Amino acid sequence: MIDHRPDPDALLEKVQRAEAQRRRGRLKIFFGASAGVGKTFGMLLAARERRAEGLDVVAGYVETHKRVETHQLLEGLEILPPRLVEYRNTQLQEFDLDAALKRHPALILVDELAHTNAPGSRHPKRWQDVEELLDAGIDVYTAINVQHIESLNDVVSQITGIPVWETVPDAVLEKADEIELIDLPPDELLQRLKEGKVYLPQQAERAAQNFFRKGNLIALRELALRRTADRVDAQMRDYREDNAIKDVWQVKERILACIGPGGSSENLVRATYRLAQLLRAEWIVVYVETTKLQHLSREQRDAILRTLKLAEELGAETVTLGGHQLADEVIAYARTRNASRIVLGKPTYVGWRRWLHGSLVDTIVRQADDIDIHVVGKESNFLAQAKATPYFSRSRLYLGLGSDEQRPLLKWQPDYLWAITASAISTAIAWLMFEHVDLANLIMVYLLGVVVVAARYGRGPSVLASVLSVLLFDVFFVPPRFSIAVSDTQYLITFAIMLLVALVISGMTANTRHQAKIAGLRERRITSLYALSRELAATRGEVNVLNIAVKHVADVFEAQAVILLTDANGHIVYPRDEGAPQSAHGSDLSVAQWVFDHGQMAGQGTDTLPGGDMVYLPLTAPSGVKGVLALLSLNPNRLALPEQQRLLETFTSQIALALERVRLAAEAHNTQLKMETEQLRNALLSAISHDLRTPLAAIVGASSSLVRDGERLPVQARYELSQAIYDEATRMSGLANNLLDMARLQSGGVVLNRQWQPLEEVVGGALAGMSARLLGHPVSVRLPHDLPLVEIDSMLIERVFANLLENAVKYTPSGTAINISAESSLGEVIVTVADHGQGIPLGEEKRIFEKFHRVANEGNQGGAGLGLTICRSIVEAHCGKIWADNTSEGGAAFHFALPLGEAPPEIEQEEIAGS
Amino acid sequence: MNHSATIIVVEDEAQIRRFLRSALDTEGYQVVEAETGKQGLADAATRKPDLVILDLGLPDMDGIEVVKALRTWTSVPIVILSARSQENDKIAALDAGADDYLVKPFGVGELLARIRVALRHVSSVAGDGNEGLFAVDELKVDMIHRKVMVGDAEVHLTPIEYRLLTVLIKHAGKVLTHQALLKEVWGPSYVERAHYLRIYMGNLRHKLEKDPARPRFLLTEVGVGYRLAVI
């Protein structure tokens, strides 16, 4: 059974598109075949209707050309004042994008979508302004003529013979929510023209007269109608897909267009675009850079770059491939991408040359029998054809890595000198061999010399070596010797073949060398990428990621780079952290902010603010834009190369991913910290609420009874109540001390006040402080006489003793002894506080040091379980360690070790004791 | 004992003032309460107190400043009240001229003992005829003959040990900060060498005390200094 349900993926995409559109403003385009059909008029009429419906309508920019009817329609509409721009001593009126965004009406009218903005505007083109308005959620009405549509641009130029420079990408039209065709039959238009109702700029009048010929107008009208019909057709298909009317089996087509250095490439791209539109197919434009094509002149390279850029603007994916055989590469790539059609230009060679060189079309047709091949013919082109340039001025490296300047002639001379030297050496060797071997073998010596020169110095010197070899061979060895004349004419054939072989060998060797060089460059590129990702993967911390990223970008792209991140409010700011890269301080924060907000490139060589020196790239990770990479390239042309662009894109996404990773890690860390803090707080709260409430209850109870019945109570009872209050308050005070210590130690704000101390004194201080608590427990202190001074914070170590003693008192029955002892060994002093109680339950030896941990079945012994944790914190702050075990008699023993560190300071010996 | 002595209590907490007043009243002292440092200074000038109890955490001015201001014109004994978090302030106040300190919370017994020591010290300086002799329990020091006895045995001290002991005796019952002791026994250039003091104190204890880890006479005020027991 055939499944008639809609394709879920397609449906999802549709929902997402609808979602994006809901947030975006709606775009309505008034579309006409030529000037004068009444687009502006129609647009204003529609706008007035909207306003009558109560919508907030503003005329952002409307060109009335001082026509009365149009002007009348504008009356009553709010008009946004134009932005005035000084340009070459004239004042230009431009649409004020910022004012429009600030005013933020529901609907704005922006006429002449194809308009080119004055230099210095945010975007070079008005349609980009409109995009930004739509992004901001403002509905836009605009108008455009058919000749301004990018993909129809060449067709219109052919029809009218007038080139049109201002174009709008087809994507803008396709994304429009509504297109209203303003149609006027040619006769009526011509009538209006005669009546002077059509505005014509004075200087272009003649050209315009040429333009408004009936034939032209009919053709343009047809184009406009067809374009609109295409759109209706597309809408129809959308509708059918939505409603699962699927009686046509549809396979998503993929078209691959192959461009070369020829001037017709742009036509090829436009033709492929139209085909792709028709078939609703994805399309890829491929440029195969073979060995031969690596020697193209700068102009030709620029032309290819332009073509690739055009293709990208028209919505194609562009790819540059490297390889030997054009046809093989194209077919292999077509198969990997599952392309169903290949579009090629007409073969350049005809006749015998085609037979000799072979044609790409023939080869592909022969090899790819399962792929449809379209061959597009040449068309006349208004753009300047790329001119062939003399060989020596050709740039040797196309890939962009390495030197891009042309090599000066001077630098070549040593290479040619080497070619001459090599030929001389060949001659010398041949001279030595001349007596013993055949002439034919001497040729081999020369050929060897040519191979060596070709391998080391490239094509030019090897050609020179080839020619020289033949000459020298003739002069020195072919009879009559020492003259250029030849006795036997058969030698002429020898010379010809020798020269041919030498040239072929030199060509092939030079090619191999060049290939190796290219491969080396590619490898360097891959290596740089690998180095970046490897270093990024091993990095923690945002600043480190930034430093690594900037270092690599600067190295690989020969640019000053800086990564700009946002502050807490989402504003892009200069890096402030110590150690953050400081270069490229000239970056423009407002441009960076725009890039960050829109997630698009801006700056030099892009569509947005192309005026500046720097390029700004968004660092886009899956969860959004993470920051902006600003680049000041020392070689801007190189950045424009598609290969470099792609590498840069890979770099930025790698950096963005790394940034996202470190941020997520930091976030996870924070969350974990928060959770731990939360747990700790809960434990603390429960511990405190228990340990504070119990003594408080006793205090409140006892004191209230004293307050109420003080007079009537017997003296003994009053004394007991007062004693109870005193005891409980003391307990609370102890708890408060512990909490205070804990808070101080845990906040990390404790600076040890380390001084050289005799341990004895610290123990003494603790014992004195605890004397009341220790009444029921005899304490023995055994400290060796030669115990060295230790460098400790006596206040804190006293707390350790106090807590350990408190613990011993708490957990052992009254009357049992407590032993304090110490010994020094191997650079540390180990102190032991042992009791004679029940000992520590098995397995609890470590956990008792944890916060709020209390030994099970401990009953209502006071204390929040903080004492030992405090001990551990203090000992660890002294770089020591603390542990517990049970003594052989069964009691608990707590040990802590304090490192001795450096030797205690000497003290001056006193003179002989006074007697 | 002079039970009609006047004591100024400079303390902003009403509850503490109430408790101090009741405790001091019971003992027969005249109590003057001051809520702020400024008021306390004014009262100290007009009431001619025998002792000042001064809280370090006052709302209007630093307790240490109050001590310094008082010390510009009077040697009246000053007992500091401090919270646990004010350890450094406490030492600074002692170094600025305060006589003793109490850490909150403290009991009445402790408070009265400190007051008695401070007041007695004043009277002993005034001269009670017993100047050359110091005796607590088994420890007897005859400063005229430079003789130190524990029980019946004479103890030999080095000159510095002896000097340390006499300085402590001079301020018996009072806390002496490390700095004050170092300055008085070794001289001003030694104030940073606290380990000298600790080593000599250790030696002194081994010579004078039965159990040096639990001294009877030479008491340690952890983190602050030393005190010679008077009873």
Per the CB < 8 Å rule, is A758 touching B202? yes
Give the Cα separation of A253 and A272 in Å (integer).
13
Per the CB < 8 Å rule, is A914 touching B162? yes
pLDDT value of position A250: 42
Which residue type sits at A75?
E
The predicted-structure confidence for B53-100, as pLDDT tens digits, reads as follows 999 888 888 889 999 999 998 989 999 998 866 677 888 899 898 989
Per the CB < 8 Å rule, is A913 touching B158? yes
Identify which of A797, A789, A787 has the alpha carbon closest to the alpha carbon of residue A753: A797
Give the Cα separation of B43 and A541 in Å (integer).
60
Whether the predicted pLDDT of A759 surpasses 60:
yes
Whether the predicted pLDDT of A306 surpasses 90:
no
Q: Does A758 touch chain B (CB under 8 A)?
A: yes
B90, B158, B198: best mutation site toward chain A, by most A Cβ within 10 Å? B198
Give the Cα separation of A285 and A313 in Å (integer).
12
pLDDT value of position A6: 57
**How many residues in chain A?**
915
Give the Cα separation of A710 and A724 in Å (integer).
15
For range A547-573, the mean pLDDT? 81
Identify which of A237, A269, A271, A276 has the alpha carbon closest to the alpha carbon of residue A255: A276
For range A465-472, the mean pLDDT? 88
Residue A617 is encoded by which pair of tokens?
């790239």
The predicted-structure confidence for B194-230, as pLDDT tens digits, reads as follows 888 998 999 999 999 988 888 989 998 888 899 998 8
Listed in sequence order, the residues at least 6 apart from A302 whose beta carbon sits closer than 8 Å to its beta carbon are: A386
The alpha-carbon gap from A764 to the nearest alpha carbon of chain B, in Å, equals 5
pLDDT value of position A248: 39
Confidence of residue A141 (pLDDT cuts 50, 70, 90): very high
Give the Cα separation of A477 and B205 in Å (integer).
115
The predicted-structure confidence for A498-543, as pLDDT tens digits, reads as follows 888 888 888 888 788 777 877 877 777 788 888 888 888 888 788 8
Listed in sequence order, the residues at least 6 apart from A352 whose beta carbon sits closer than 8 Å to its beta carbon are: none
Helix residue ranges, H only, A620-714:
636-639, 642-709
Whether the predicted pLDDT of A611 surpasses 80:
no
Confidence of residue B126 (pLDDT cuts 50, 70, 90): very low
Residue of higher predicted confidence among B11 and A692: B11
Q: Is the peptide bond before A642 cis (omega within 30 degrees of 0)?
A: no
pLDDT value of position A384: 34
Confidence of residue A381 (pLDDT cuts 50, 70, 90): very low
The alpha-carbon gap from A907 to the nearest alpha carbon of chain B, in Å, equals 7
Asked whether A395 and A402 are in contact (CB, 8 A), the reply is: no
HSE of A666, CA atoms in CB hemisphere, 13 A: 11
CA distances from A562 to A64, A573, A591, A663, B109 (A): 46, 11, 14, 19, 70
> Apex CA B86: angle with CA B85 and CA B92, to 5°?
155
Cβ–Cβ pairs < 8 A, chains A and B: 81
Around Cβ A709, how many Cβ atoms within 10 Å?
Answer: 12
Helix residue ranges, H only, B72-212:
87-96, 108-127, 159-170, 178-185, 194-208
Q: Does A740 touch chain B (CB under 8 A)?
A: yes
Per the CB < 8 Å rule, is A789 touching B194? no
CA distances from A19 to A14, A130, A132, A179, A232 (A): 8, 19, 17, 20, 22
Confidence of residue A22 (pLDDT cuts 50, 70, 90): low
Contacts of A768 in chain B (CB under 8 A): 214-215, 219-220
Longest dimension (CA), chain B: 55
Whether the predicted pLDDT of A335 surpasses 50:
yes
Give the Cα separation of A197 and A211 in Å (integer).
16
HSE of A723, CA atoms in CB hemisphere, 13 A: 6
> Which of B85, B107, B212 is closest, CB to CB, to A760?
B212
> Which of A768, A820, A910 is closest, CB to CB, to B220?
A768
Asked whether A161 and A210 are in contact (CB, 8 A), the reply is: yes
Residue A737 is encoded by which pair of tokens?
């001390």
Identify which of A588, A649, A592 has the alpha carbon closest to the alpha carbon of residue A621: A649
> Which of B159, B222, B223 is closest, CB to CB, to A910?
B159
Asked whether B224 and B177 are in contact (CB, 8 A), the reply is: yes
Identify which of A17, A383, A371, A318 has the alpha carbon closest to the alpha carbon of residue A167: A383
Give the Cα separation of A450 and A502 in Å (integer).
6
Per the CB < 8 Å rule, is A764 touching B196? no
Give the relative orientation of helices A867-877 and A794-811 as an angle to the nearest 10 degrees.
Answer: 150
pLDDT value of position A713: 84
Asked whether B87 and B221 are in contact (CB, 8 A), the reply is: no
Q: Which residues pair with A97 in a beta bridge?
A: none
Q: Residues of B near A (CB-CB distance < 8 A)?
A: 84-85, 87, 105, 107, 156-160, 162, 193-196, 198-199, 201-202, 205, 211-215, 219-223
Residue A254 is encoded by which pair of tokens?
């993929």
* Chain A residue closest in CA terms to B104: A733
> Which of B84, B201, B213 is closest, CB to CB, to A740?
B84
Per the CB < 8 Å rule, is B220 touching A910? no
Q: Which residues pair with A821 in a beta bridge?
A: A782, A832
Give the Cα separation of A17 and A766 in Å (integer).
75
A699, A757, A761: best mutation site toward chain B, by most B Cβ within 10 Å? A761
pLDDT value of position A389: 30
Give the Cα separation of A40 and A35 in Å (integer).
10
For range A138-157, the mean pLDDT? 85
pLDDT value of position A712: 83
Q: Where are the beta strands (DSSP E) in A702-796?
A: 755-757, 779-782, 790-792
> Which residue is associated with the tokens 């041949």?
A430
Per the CB < 8 Å rule, is A755 touching B158? no
Q: Does A409 touch chain B (CB under 8 A)?
A: no
Whether the predicted pLDDT of A421 surpasses 60:
yes
Confidence of residue A246 (pLDDT cuts 50, 70, 90): very low
Mean pLDDT in chain A?
78
pLDDT value of position A393: 29
The alpha-carbon gap from A748 to the nearest alpha carbon of chain B, in Å, equals 15
Per the CB < 8 Å rule, is B212 touching A767? no
Which residue type sits at A321?
L
Residue A339 is encoded by which pair of tokens?
């392309």
Residue of higher predicted confidence among A39 and A586: A39
Whether the predicted pLDDT of A784 surpasses 50:
yes
CA distances from B20 to A729, B61, B67, B118 (A): 17, 21, 20, 17
Identify which of A24, A36, A8 has the alpha carbon closest to the alpha carbon of residue A132: A24
- Strand-strand pairing, A27-32 and A139-145: parallel
> Which residue is associated with the tokens 């000042």?
B52
Asked whether A281 and A274 are in contact (CB, 8 A), the reply is: no
The alpha-carbon gap from A904 to the nearest alpha carbon of chain B, in Å, equals 9
Confidence of residue B42 (pLDDT cuts 50, 70, 90): very high
For range A610-625, the mean pLDDT? 81
DSSP 3-state assignment of A766? Answer: helix
Burial bucket for residue A672 (CB in 10 Å: 0-12, 13-18, 19+): exposed
Q: Does A765 touch chain B (CB under 8 A)?
A: yes
Q: From edge to edge, which strands make up the β-sheet containing A139-145?
A: A78-79, A57-61, A107-110, A139-145, A27-32, A178-182
Whether the predicted pLDDT of B8 surpasses 80:
yes
Per the CB < 8 Å rule, is B87 touching A795? yes
Q: Where are the beta strands (DSSP E) in A709-758?
A: 755-757
Contacts of A735 in chain B (CB under 8 A): none
Confidence of residue A263 (pLDDT cuts 50, 70, 90): low
Residue of higher predicted confidence among A200 and A416: A416
Give the Cα separation of A826 and A791 in Å (integer).
16
Contacts of B157 in chain A (CB under 8 A): 913-914
Q: Does A162 touch chain B (CB under 8 A)?
A: no
